[in-house]
Structure 1
Amino acid sequence: MENNLFPLDDTIHVGNDQVSAFRENGHVLIHEILKPEELSYYRNVIKKAAYQYNTEKRDLKDRDTYGKAFLQIMNLWQTDKEVRRFTLAKRFAKIAADLLGVENVRIYHDQALFKEPGGGFTPWHQDQYYWPLDTSKTVTMWMPLIDIDEEMGMLTFASGSHTAGFAENIPISDESESTLQQFIERNNFPVTRAKTMKAGDATWHYGWTLHTAPGNSSKDVTREVMTVIYFADGAHITEPQNKHQENDRQTWLKGLAAGQLAASELNPMVK
């Protein structure tokens, strides 16, 4: 099949109610972002690349909490030209820009998150804990490539938690689970999640929105999810506040110094 059959360079209208819900709650679910034929094609592309470049070889039982949560394969767009068309899709970037209220967005990185059957829970965390960026206009698209329900590890949000900014200087871990759960309870943030999502639907959440996911209690189905992270064009790099931000500065921002524009070759402008 010719690659140009599924370019994903058209746009989808995001309603004012969806934008308002996103900015108020810190997350929103948007249905049917991919058509069935597009989904079928890109699922095969992403799944093939994810397993080809997966470096996790340990049995599930031998991993720590983070390792049990999912197989995480990052920046596939740099290693697979077909995944590149998905990650750099104008259709997704336009949604990101509209939700954030900006003209243009750049890619931070993509990542496949495959939660295996029996895979563990994903502890409470904030994505932007890892990002040395001076903007709160960041958003993650989280798209299942198969139909999923609550039993398979549905993304779960603390609504309104994005307004708190940097909650705790803590990575995804058992410690973040307990500490951030207490933070959520103290601030009375409602915890919500969808009961089901169809393949090709996607949730979108701010980088500061606290979120988690239960384990995959399915016996034989892997929860296949692809994510893309966007940030507003014009953002600058900040001085890293922890070792993970320093790692991200070196890895996803090509070692650019604090104060420089976050615009390395790994952060192309896509809208």
Structure 2
Amino acid sequence: MNTINLPSLKETVILEPEQIEAFRKEGHTITRNIMSAAEVAAYREVINEAAYKYNTETRKLEERDTYGKAFLQIMNLWESDEQVKKFTLANRFAKIAADLLGVDNVRIYHDQALYKEAGGGFTPWHQDQYYWPLSTNNTVTMWMPLVDIKEDMGMLTFASGSHKEGSVKNIAISDESEAALNDYISKQGYNVTRATAMQAGDATWHYGWTLHAAPGNQSDITREVMTIIYFADEATVIEPVNQHQENDRNRWLQGLAPGEKAASDLNPLLL
């Protein structure tokens, strides 16, 4: 890997109180231009290099199931790549996460590159926190495109207010979750919204329990997105309620036992 002089991302972004209030009410928000074009260009280079280096998906799109068609998913790049680490652990993003959650400090759960290839399939309705054995509802995911994207490229789509119900169904991302949660959203009457366009360096933020999905990528370019999951400091590990949570407990929380503070070496404290 070529080492380049990366921007520090130490400068913070101040959110308006109205945006924070709306985030807590709706369960999601969007922040515009939190990275400059030059910053995005520098970090896109190193994130892409790491993502494709560590990608293990070799099947053609038509050979994959619904989950596999939705995106290339390359997880915890910061753990393996010192340059991506500067992005994932950046104060700028951590401060936004802490302010949205109303806490002083946050920890990292994990990062992941989510690259929806040209012609890639839809992402079924799901709740991220289905996978996380954490005691707190104060969790948030930053979802940042590294290229300009439009609605038809797989824009994240939210059921506004759905986070307030906590866990809706103990169900993983799948055709089953798409059907069951789409029916639930319809019956609950949630307002379903998505941005029509985002520039590289914009970001959406959503609670771990916010129901969300994404359409397929109908364009001829890859939708490159980098995500970071944050949770409030002082959270503890809970007894896993599904096999995915048990897998996460062992991997991202490094085997910490239920009741212990969620503070393994892979969950550094930020701010």
Normalised TM-score (structure 2): 0.98
The equivalences for 1:1-271 within 5 A come to 5-218=6-219, 220-271=220-271
Residue type at the aligned position of 1:46: I
In structure 2, stretches of 5+ residues that fail to align are none
Cα distance in 2 for residues equivalent to 1:36 and 1:179: 40
Query: 1:25 Cα shift?
Result: 0.3
Name the SS for the 2:48 alignment partner.
helix
Cα distance in 1 for residues equivalent to 2:22 and 2:150: 22
- Does the C-alpha gap of structure 1 residues 53 and 5 become closer, same or farther in structure 2, counting only changes over 3 Å? closer
Query: 1:5 Cα shift?
Result: 4.7
What RMSD, in angstroms, separates the aligned Cα atoms of the two structures?
1.0
CA offset digits 1:172-195 (Å, max 9, x no partner):
000000000111111111000000
Name the SS for the 1:228 alignment partner.
strand
What percent of counterpart residues are identical? 66
Cα distance in 2 for residues equivalent to 1:60 and 1:5: 34
CA offset digits 1:37-79 (Å, max 9, x no partner):
1000001110111000000000000000000000000000011
Query: 1:9 Cα shift?
Result: 1.1
Residue type at the aligned position of 1:184: I
Cα distance in 1 for residues equivalent to 2:184 and 2:48: 36
Name the SS for the 1:107 alignment partner.
strand
Query: 1:10 Cα shift?
Result: 1.4
- Does the C-alpha gap of structure 1 residues 260 and 129 become closer, same or farther in structure 2, counting only changes over 3 Å? same
Query: 1:255 Cα shift?
Result: 0.3
Residue type at the aligned position of 1:227: T
Name the SS for the 1:180 alignment partner.
helix
Residue type at the aligned position of 1:177: E
Cα distance in 2 for residues equivalent to 1:265 and 1:222: 32
Structure 1 runs, 4 residues or longer, greater than 3 Å off: 1-5
When the two structures are aligned, how many residues end up with a matched partner? 270
Cα distance in 1 for residues equivalent to 2:23 and 2:6: 31
CA offset digits 1:134-187 (Å, max 9, x no partner):
100000000000000111000000000000100000000000000001111111
Query: 1:105 Cα shift?
Result: 0.0
Equivalent pair of 2:6/2:43 in contact (CA under 8 Å): no
Name the SS for the 2:50 alignment partner.
helix
Name the SS for the 1:186 alignment partner.
helix
Name the SS for the 2:23 alignment partner.
helix
Name the SS for the 2:269 alignment partner.
coil
Normalised TM-score (structure 1): 0.98
CA offset digits 1:3-55 (Å, max 9, x no partner):
55511111110111110110000000000010111000001110111000000
Cα distance in 1 for residues equivalent to 2:19 and 2:46: 29
Query: 1:2 Cα shift?
Result: 7.4
Name the SS for the 1:157 alignment partner.
strand
Cα distance in 1 for residues equivalent to 2:246 and 2:3: 40
Name the SS for the 1:119 alignment partner.
coil
Name the SS for the 1:96 alignment partner.
helix
Cα distance in 2 for residues equivalent to 1:14 and 1:2: 33
Residue type at the aligned position of 1:57: T
Residue type at the aligned position of 2:174: S
